[in-house]
Structure 1
Amino acid sequence: MTDTAAETLSVVVEREVAYPPEKIWRALTEPHLIEEWLMKNDFKPVADHRFNLRGDWGTVDCQVRAIEPNKMLSYTWDALGLKSIVTWTLTPTSAGTHLRMEQSGFRQDQQQAYQGAKYGWQRFFATLEQVLARID
């Protein structure tokens, strides 16, 4: 029996954010806010909705897999030969929210994509926090 989880890599970014889950949820699900911290998009917070993220370097084809308002959002991320899954988890804390993002499904031969995602998500998180500080 093979353990497929051992055969793929995941990028995980976790932060304590000083905002309630409802505010972070808006930044994760409202297209104009997603565009400010991630990419242009046609996202809708609806299960099975297919959407695109569009950056200068190309397009990411996505599909909403699971959605639990203010708690969890999961979607596929298919770009440049990488088929992965991005899952956001929001857990309320006394100081705000524990925000966790995991992008899973990097094959061992996708080191460049994996390293790029590790770098990219750190940048996206920094920009996300700026957007959160600005919105009401």
Structure 2
Amino acid sequence: MLLNVSIWVVIDIIAIAILLYIIGNQLYLWYQGRRVATLLENKDFRQGMHVGQIIDLRDKDNFDAGHVMGARNVPYTQFKIMKESIRKDMPVYLYDQGKSLSTRIAVKLHKDGYKDIFILKNGFEHWDGKIKKRK
């Protein structure tokens, strides 16, 4: 009986440690993202995107179903391969469905020397601007 209780205590400790790691990782990512990129509301994103590169980090199927007018698709899963197509001398406007992928990519771009990085604050899910759909 004592052995069974000890096993459950160990399992509880491991579960708590994993949960704390996940929360800590998300907080670190949040902090890093705010340090390297500017979060923009829809209105501000719309105003600035005309002078920069709009990058949609969602997968191709979601992109084809609808994307911000003028955006190009650089799926998160293929980012390492396609990163070279993003110019360093122009502002970069990132979005995904929410903002977690954009934050991760913003950190990577900043490490590679990109300066003007902007993230759509509430992601494509809440975009109220023009949308283009592929047939």
TM-score higher than 0.5: no
Larger Rg: 2
Which one has the bigger helix percentage?
Answer: 2
Which one has the bigger strand percentage?
Answer: 1
